[in-house]
Amino acid sequence: MDILLKNVDMQKIMDSGQCFRIKKLDSDKYFVPSGEEACICVQQDKDVKVVASSINSEEYWKHYFDDSYNYKYLEERMSNCMFLADISTFGKGIRRLNQDPWECLVSYIISQRKSVKAISTAVEKLCEMYGKMSCIQGITWYTFPTAEKLKNIYEIKGSYEASLGYRDSYVYSASLFLQEEDFFENISMLPYYEAKKELKRIHGVGDKVADCVLLYSFGFNQAFPVDVWISRYISNNDYFEDVNNLFKSEMGIVQLYIYYYMRNHKDEDEEV
DNA sequence: TTCCAGGTGGACA
DNA sequence: TGTCCACATGGA
């Protein structure tokens, strides 16, 4: 299988903090899992090629990498905004992924008061303990455990024994909601504020986690997750409201570029 | 050893 | 409605 994704930068996607299981295999090769599927990608200059997949569907990975959205046009408009020009250039090639909703929900429940490194470790541990072993091009990996599996484990053990701490019960709460028929399907059909309200019914899901799931799994580009980094950015920039008014329905994607810049740009003295 | 991390729930005013 | 604090644990 060969799927070509134009103007995509895998390293930036990996460093953008939106997903926690992408692995770099060598200088230009990446392993990309999503729920119970996975693919192998190769960076070829400015483009990315999917060279192997667990699922025989071009559409699955084109949707995952948000291939139908015009990022070039967004980056152009950001470049024309004096407040975002540097941020746009620095993040060129980022994509807002459409991740597996269940994996995304659990990952962000786990994320609270943890570092990115600690989140990755915990999520990986959960997969190794309760996911299914699988193999693609000689690479052994573990699928993300299903809601049913995590529900049963907690009911038997009372803990996931995966360094989740107090978040154990939050993950269990989420697994119970997944027993409702078409829980995620219903969320995808709702308007943004209703969808957010629905997700926040889950114990352990607040504004931040709900917005991350709506943005990174359901494509609600107006969802704007505010974490410590974005909060720092907003408080340091009086013009934030102007940016917000300019990009309104796409502020979630703009947020991703800002987050990537805040976390990865080396010149920390520079005001952004 | 100490501090901080892609937050949230619950108590209280 | 807004503010304050406890919460488990890994990583730097």
Q: What is the pLDDT of residues A76-88, one digit of tens each?
A: 999 999 999 999 9
Amino acid whose CA is nearest the C1' of B8: A204
Question: Is residue A268's pLDDT more than 90?
Answer: no
Amino acid whose CA is nearest the C1' of C11: A118
Report which of A270, A264, A258, A269 is spatially closest to residue A231, judged by C-alpha positions.
Answer: A258
Question: Is residue A30's pLDDT more than 80?
Answer: yes
* pLDDT, position A187: 97
Tell me if A34 sits within 8 A of A104, measured CB to CB.
Answer: no
* pLDDT, position A235: 87
Report which of A48, A77, A33, A11 is spatially closest to residue A251, judged by C-alpha positions.
Answer: A77
Structure tokens, A223: 């969802």
The verdict on pTM exceeding 0.95 is: yes
Nucleotide closest to A112 measured between CA and C1': B7
pLDDT band at A172 (very low <50, low <70, confident <90, very high): very high
Cα–Cα distance measured from residue A209 to residue A110, given in angstroms and rounded to the nearest whole number? 10
Residues 144-173 of chain A within 7 A of strand C, judged by CB, are 163-166
Cα–Cα separations (whole angstroms), residue A256 to A8, A94, A98, A224, A262: 14, 8, 13, 9, 10
Residue A85 CA to its chain's centroid (Å): 24
Cα–Cα distance measured from residue A33 to residue A20, given in angstroms and rounded to the nearest whole number? 10
Contacts of A102 (CB under 8 A, 6+ apart): A35, A144, A146, A147, A178, A184
* Average pLDDT of span A192-205: 97
* pLDDT, position A1: 78
Separation of A260 CA and B1 C1' (Å): 31
pLDDT band at A186 (very low <50, low <70, confident <90, very high): very high
Question: Is residue A91's pLDDT more than 50?
Answer: yes
Cα–Cα distance measured from residue A202 to residue A196, given in angstroms and rounded to the nearest whole number? 11
Q: Is the CB of A118 under 7 A from strand C?
A: yes
pLDDT averaged over every residue in chain A:
96
Burial profile A82-119: b = 16 or more Cβ within 10 angstroms, e = fewer: eebebbbebbbbbbbbbbbbbbbbbbbbbbbebeeeeb
pLDDT band at A266 (very low <50, low <70, confident <90, very high): confident
Separation of A168 CA and B7 C1' (Å): 15
* pLDDT, position A97: 98
Separation of A3 CA and B6 C1' (Å): 30
What percentage of chain A has pLDDT greater than the value 70?
A: 98
Structure tokens, A211: 């917005």
Q: Is the CB of A114 under 7 A from strand C?
A: yes
* pLDDT, position A272: 60
pLDDT band at A271 (very low <50, low <70, confident <90, very high): low
Query: Per residue, what are the HEC states of chain A?
Result: CCEEECCCCHHHHHCCCCCCCCEEEECCEEEEEECCEEEEEEEECCEEEEEEECCCCHHHHHHHCCCCCCHHHHHHHHHCCCCCHHHHHHCCCCCCCCCCHHHHHHHHHHHCCCCHHHHHHHHHHHHHHHCCEEEECCEEEECCCCHHHHHHHHHHHCCCCCCCHHHHHHHHHHHHHCCCCCHHHHHHHCCHHHHHHHHCCCCCCCHHHHHHHHHHCCCCCCCCCCCHHHHHHHHHCCCHHHHHHHHHHHHHHHHHHHHHHHHHCCCCCCCC
Question: Is residue A270's pLDDT more than 60?
Answer: no
Q: Is the CB of A206 under 7 A from strand B?
A: yes
pLDDT in tens, A207-251: 999 999 999 999 999 999 999 999 989 988 889 999 999 999 999
Nucleotide closest to A166 measured between CA and C1': C8
